[in-house]
Structure 1
Amino acid sequence: MKKILIISNMYPTDNHLSFGIFVKNQVRALEEAGMNVVIAVNDDPTTGKWPVIKKYMKWGLKTLTTAFRQRKQISVTHAHYAFPSGMLALIVKRLFGIPYVVTAHGGDIERMAKKSTRLHNWTETILKNSEHVIAVGPVLAEQIEHDFSIPKEKISVLSMGVNRRIFYPIDKNIAREQVHLAQDAFHFLFVGNVIEQKGVEELVQAFQMVKTSCEKPVKLTIIGARRDEGFQKKLQPFIDEDVQFIDPLAQQELVKWFQAADVFVLPSHLEGFGLVALEALAAGTPVIATQVGGLVSLLNNGAGHLVPPHHASELAQEMKRATTRVADDYYHVSAVNAVLEQHDEKNITAQLQQIYEVAAKGGRRV
C-alpha cells in the first residue's frame, strides 16, 4: 500500500473547528496506524450560489492537480460523501485509473440525492463505479442497497469511530468546575449545527416544558455553528437565561462539556450515524436521541433512550424522566461498553485498512 488520497468537501480549520472534524480525525488515525495520507479537501463552509461554485471549482482543480502529480504513488482514493466528493473520485479513476472507496454519511443519500433525478443518477453512477461503499450506519446501508441497486456484499457498515483517549469520563463535579457550570442544576447538552434538521427547535421547546414542571433547576447548553440567522430568530421565543449558546470548540475543550453534562440530547430529524452521541457515551454521559438513521442501531439495545422525531412533548417527557433518575440507573453500562468497543477508533481504522487493501487491487495503473 502506497498513498491514500482523501477527498472531502468538509474539513476543519482553526476558524471552523467542527466543519468535517470527523474526516480530520480519521486522517489522523490512519497516519497513526502508519499509512501515508494525502488530502484534497474543501475547508471553506461558505454558502450561497456563487461562493459555493467558486470554492468547489478551486477544490476540484486542487484535487485533480494533486491526483495527477502523485498518480504513480496513490494506491486508492477515499471520498467522504458520495456527492460531490465521490464525483471527483470518479473523475480521478477515469483519468488516472486510481480505484476509490466512498463513505456515505447520510445527508448525501437522504437529502442531496433526492433533490433531483440528475443528482440521484450521478450518485448511483458514483456508487456503482466505486470499489467499495462504506455506510456510517445500517439504515443508510439498506437505503444505498435498495435505492441505488448496490450489491450488499459491496457495502460495509463502518462508523467514523470515537477516540477514547480524548473522550472518556471523569468526575462530573470536577468537569463542571472546569467549564463553570452550576453544581446544583441538572444540565442538558446539545452539540451540532444549530439548524432545523438537527431538531434544535423541538429541543428548546421541550426544555421549556421541562423547566416549568421540574422541581430542580435545569440548564441547557447548545454548542455549535449558528449560520442560519432566520432559524436563530425562530428560536428566540424559547430562549432565556437558562439556555446558553457556545460557538464550536476544539475537541479537547468540547469533551469537558460532554463530561460535565447530566444528559446529552440529539433530537435530529435525520442522522446517518450520530457521532456526537457516541462521543457523549464515551465521556460517560447518557444520551436521549430520536429514532432516526444510525441512532436507532447505536442506542436501541439499552445504550441510550430513543423518542420519535419532531415531537417536542415526547422529548420533554423523556428529558424530565432523566431528571428523576440517578445516573447509574439511567445509564446501562454493559450496553454502552459494547457500543464503545464496536466503534472504537482503533478497530474502525483496522477495518478501513482492510477495505483499502482490497480496493487497491481493483484499479489499473496509468
Structure 2
Amino acid sequence: MAGSKQQTGRRVLWLDPFFQGGRPTTQSIHRALPWMLDRGWQIEIWCLDHDEVDARAEVKRLPRARWLRLLEPLWFWFLAWLRLTWLRLWAGKWDIVHTTGPDIPGADVMSLHFHNRTWIGLQWREQAWSIKEKLRILHTMIGLLQETVVLHSKRWRVILPVSEGLAERIRPQLASEKRIQVLPNLLDETRFHTGVRQQYREAARSQVHAAETDFIFIFVSTGHYQRKGLWAALRSLDVCRTMARNECGLRLRFLIVGAGEKAQASLIPQLNQTAPDWRDWVSLMPPTPEVERWYAAADAFLFPSRYETFSLVALEASACGLPLLVTPYDGHEMYLKEGVNGCLLPWEPEGMATRIGEFLKTDRHYLKPGPDRCIHASGYAEVLDQTYLEIIRERSL
C-alpha cells in the first residue's frame, strides 16, 4: 500500500466533528487514512466521535454537547478553533491543517461538500416549518455566514470541492489567492462493482418476491426525502406503471432503501396519500451496511434530487451496473454520461414521467452502465499528498 514517494515527518491535523466511515464528509478521507500514513504523513485527528481508525493516527476527542442536537457540530468547530488558536500561540505544531467544512479560520486546506447559499434557497422554497426544519434552516444560515467569510478571506490556500458543479458555484465568491482542485468522493471498489449482481441478485430479488418480469427502480437515502426527490420519483413511476405493463410487459417496482423505523413511520402516511396502492409495488427497506445487495436486486437507479454536490449513492449504483436516472444536480457530471450510462431527468413531474417512459421503452436496451470516471482510496491519498506537499513548497519560497 505504501506510495513510492515517502515524506517522513510531515505533520497533518484533520478536523471533523464525526470522523466516521459512513458520513459523506469523512467517508473518503477515512478510507484514505492508511494510504496517507504509508506515505509518511503523521496524522492527528480532532473530533467529537469516530469509528475505529488506524492505530498509527493520533485521535483527540473534544468534549461533546449532545443537548445541542443538530447544532452540536457548531460546538465542535468553536472548540477546535479555540484549541487551534491557543496551540499556535506557542508553537507551529502542524505542517498542514485540513478541515472538512468552512468553519475553521487558519486552516490550509478545506474539503467542501456543500454550498449553503444554494441550499438555503431550496429550504426556503420548500417551506417546511416544523421545529426540526427551523433548526436546520438556522444551521444553514450559520453555515452560510461562515461560508461567506471563509470564501472571501485570503487565508485559505486550497479548496477541494467534491464536484465540478460545486466548484463553478464557489468560484465567483473566492478571493483571488485561493486555488481550487476538484477531488470527488472515492468509490470503494471492493464493495461496488459489476460482480455484485451475479453474487447477490437472485437472493436479493427473492427477498422482495420479485418475478422475472418485475423491473425494479431503487432509491437510496436515510433522510431528506423531499429534497432528494422521493415523492417526485413515486409519482412519476405511478404514472408509468400502466404503460410499462401494456407496452413493455413489465411490472414496475420501487425499492426505497435506508428508511429506519422512525423514517418509515413518517413516510407511510404520505405514501398512503400519494399512492394509495403503494403496498402492491413499493418496498421500504431499513438502513443496511450492505446496500450493494439491493443494487444487485435492482434494474435501474432513480434519484431525482433537487440538490446534491456529488451523490455517492449514484456513483455506487453505476459501479454495480445500474443505469442512472438522475436530475442535473451538482456532481452528476462526475459519473453520468447522458445516453451512455444513464439519462438526465427534468425536475418538472410531467417531463420526468415522460423521460422515464422513454427509458423503459427504448434506452434501457442499449445503455452501458458503469461510472464515467471514479477515484479509489490510493488515488484520493495521492491527491492529498501532492496538495499538502505543494503548500509546504510554497511556504518555503
Aligned to 2:164: 138
Structure 1 position 265 matched with structure 2 position 318 = no
Structure 1 position 308 matched with structure 2 position 308 = no
Q: Which has the higher helix share?
A: 1
Which of 224, 233, 238 is equivalent to 1:208? 238
- Paired with 2:196 and 2:75, the residues of 1 have a C-alpha distance of 48
Aligned to 1:187: 216
Gapped regions of structure 1 (runs ≥ 5): 94-98
Letter in 2 for 1:261: A
SS in 2 for 1:240: helix
User: 1:54 and 1:101, CA in 2 relative to 1: closer, same or farther beyond 3 A?
Assistant: closer
* Residues 84-135 of structure 1: per-residue CA shift (max 9 Å, x gap): xxx2x31xx3xxxxx4211221343522599788754531332332111111
- Paired with 1:3 and 1:113, the residues of 2 have a C-alpha distance of 39
Structure 1 position 38 matched with structure 2 position 44 = yes
- Paired with 2:244 and 2:99, the residues of 1 have a C-alpha distance of 47
Aligned to 1:167: 192
User: 1:242 and 1:118, CA in 2 relative to 1: closer, same or farther beyond 3 A?
Assistant: closer
User: 1:64 and 1:280, CA in 2 relative to 1: closer, same or farther beyond 3 A?
Assistant: farther
Shift of 1:225: 4.5
Letter in 1 for 2:11: K
Shift of 1:54: 5.0
- Paired with 1:307 and 1:203, the residues of 2 have a C-alpha distance of 10
Shift of 1:307: 1.0
Please give the TM-score of this superposition, normalised by the length of structure 2. 0.72
Shift of 1:52: 3.4
CA contact (8 A) 2:14 2:44 kept: yes
SS in 1 for 2:389: helix
SS in 2 for 1:125: helix
Shift of 1:29: 1.6
Aligned to 1:81: 101
CA contact (8 A) 2:300 2:325 kept: yes
User: 1:171 and 1:113, CA in 2 relative to 1: closer, same or farther beyond 3 A?
Assistant: closer
Letter in 2 for 1:126: V
Aligned to 1:126: 150
Aligned to 2:79: 61
Shift of 1:263: 0.4
- Paired with 1:7 and 1:112, the residues of 2 have a C-alpha distance of 24
SS in 2 for 1:196: coil
- Paired with 2:161 and 2:24, the residues of 1 have a C-alpha distance of 18
Which of 267, 270, 291 is equivalent to 1:234? 270
* Residues 135-171 of structure 1: per-residue CA shift (max 9 Å, x gap): 111121111111x134396111121121212211126
- Paired with 2:328 and 2:76, the residues of 1 have a C-alpha distance of 38
User: 1:260 and 1:23, CA in 2 relative to 1: closer, same or farther beyond 3 A?
Assistant: same
Aligned residue pairs total 337
Aligned to 2:70: 52
User: 1:31 and 1:67, CA in 2 relative to 1: closer, same or farther beyond 3 A?
Assistant: farther
Structure with greater Cα Rg: 2
Shift of 1:58: 5.3
- Paired with 1:39 and 1:63, the residues of 2 have a C-alpha distance of 14
Query: Among the aligned pairs, what percent are the same residue?
Result: 20
Shift of 1:270: 1.2
CA contact (8 A) 1:296 1:306 kept: no
* Residues 172-198 of structure 1: per-residue CA shift (max 9 Å, x gap): 364223322425111111112332110
- Paired with 1:265 and 1:113, the residues of 2 have a C-alpha distance of 24
Gapped regions of structure 2 (runs ≥ 5): 1-6, 51-65, 123-136
CA contact (8 A) 2:20 2:27 kept: yes
Shift of 1:204: 1.2
- Paired with 1:346 and 1:36, the residues of 2 have a C-alpha distance of 17
Shift of 1:363: 6.9
CA contact (8 A) 1:224 1:247 kept: yes
SS in 2 for 1:161: coil
- Paired with 1:54 and 1:292, the residues of 2 have a C-alpha distance of 28
User: 1:152 and 1:213, CA in 2 relative to 1: closer, same or farther beyond 3 A?
Assistant: farther
Which of 362, 372, 390 is equivalent to 1:358? 390
- Paired with 2:284 and 2:84, the residues of 1 have a C-alpha distance of 39
Shift of 1:266: 1.3
CA contact (8 A) 1:109 1:144 kept: no
- Paired with 1:73 and 1:233, the residues of 2 have a C-alpha distance of 54
CA contact (8 A) 2:28 2:377 kept: no
- Paired with 1:3 and 1:224, the residues of 2 have a C-alpha distance of 38
CA contact (8 A) 2:334 2:373 kept: no
Letter in 2 for 1:357: L
Structure 1 position 294 matched with structure 2 position 354 = no
- Paired with 1:326 and 1:119, the residues of 2 have a C-alpha distance of 41
Shift of 1:60: 4.3
User: 1:36 and 1:220, CA in 2 relative to 1: closer, same or farther beyond 3 A?
Assistant: farther
Structure number with the bigger relative contact order (C-alpha 8 A, sep ≥ 6) is 1
- Paired with 1:272 and 1:214, the residues of 2 have a C-alpha distance of 32
SS in 2 for 1:222: strand
* Residues 195-250 of structure 1: per-residue CA shift (max 9 Å, x gap): 21101110111121222332122211112256666666434322323212222222
Please give the TM-score of this superposition, normalised by the length of structure 1. 0.77
- Paired with 1:248 and 1:62, the residues of 2 have a C-alpha distance of 31
- Paired with 1:356 and 1:186, the residues of 2 have a C-alpha distance of 47
- Paired with 1:7 and 1:171, the residues of 2 have a C-alpha distance of 34
